[in-house]
Amino acid sequence: MKYTTLPNTDIKVSKICLGTMTFGQQNTEAEAHDQLDFALQHGVNFIDTAEMYSTPARVETYGATEKMIGNWFKKSGKRDAVVLATKIGGPNRGLEYMRDDLHFNTKSLALSVDKSLQRLQTDYIDLYQLHWPERKSNMFGQRGFKMQEDAWQDNIQDVLEALQELIRQGKIKTIGVSNETPWGLMRFMEESRKHQLPKMITIQNPYSLLNRTFEVGLSEVCHRENVGLLAYSPLAFGVLSGKFLTGAALPKARINLFPQFSRYNSENTREASKRYRQVAQDFGLTLTELSLAFIAQQPFVTSTIIGATNLEQLQENINTIKVELTPAMLQAIEEVQNSIPDPAP
């Protein structure tokens, strides 16, 4: 395994992070615990979850993933061996069952942290993230910003002050954002500097060979502000594993189980995937190896969040940390990107 530190901290994290959103819907608790054990045994010390997980979000499974992780902490006694990240969900996503007020105010932040701590059976969270902006924006990797009616009023300073108090109480150690835009991330940076408030040290956004929109704006912000990307969906819902190019039915694949997540299921994504698979084969790699190694080599990426529904997938994903892409490989990737740029958003 390879390691780095969360920006502006001495917290050591693996360059691969275990994503857990399948725990409680596609994976049983026993399977979840097997994944956690396997990941830790293979050097992965970084776990990411969220209060709304598992996904797709449902009232019946709200908080299920955190509960499974908490039960694993209790059973294994390995809480201190893990860097734990979780997230608070916000408004605009139809999740009113999570709490009465979904905005990021002092009361809701304190309530959500306490509920996560209880489910996770721990007294601290290493990285606490805002799962998506309160305002309406082009989040989740979408390309264009559409102006629309939005009652949001700028409360960035208030949010940081509330998070500062949770840090003071020892309930969280560091903070980050998720599904943010360059404007949103810079507003947090501005208020942090202006009022000597805690700094957002990470951003968790989609980033893959099929969706490189992060490179437009956010990559420079991360470089100049020393913010690390936690790249999610690096295999584009499994499309970049190559399994959808085999002709097999794959009824249990996420892209088939949950057709509402259709962004990676298009003619352009299939064609781009074929071309990337050919690049991989030309250099003696699998498509998975090419895809994850590309993410890991980007200088603005702190860790790549991988998810799996079985240990075989998990082992393959973890093993890609050993792969180094050459300049010739990177040039071949750019040729595909230039011919079919960002087909997934």
- Active-site residue set: 53
Q: What are phi and psi of 83, to 5 degrees?
A: -95, 115
How far, CA to CA in Å, does 149 sit from each of 29, 63, 136, 331? 42, 31, 8, 43
Quick one: which of 183, 181, 180, 203 has its CA closest to 191? Answer: 183
Alpha carbons 52 and 172: distance in angstroms, whole number? 18
Beta bridge partners of 176: 129, 202
Place of tokens 């947090």: 188
Beta bridge partners of 4: 13
Asked whether 341 and 137 are in contact (CB, 8 A), the reply is no
Alpha carbons 26 and 139: distance in angstroms, whole number? 25
SS3 7: coil
Alpha carbons 174 and 84: distance in angstroms, whole number? 11
Distance of CA 82 to the CA centre of its chain: 17
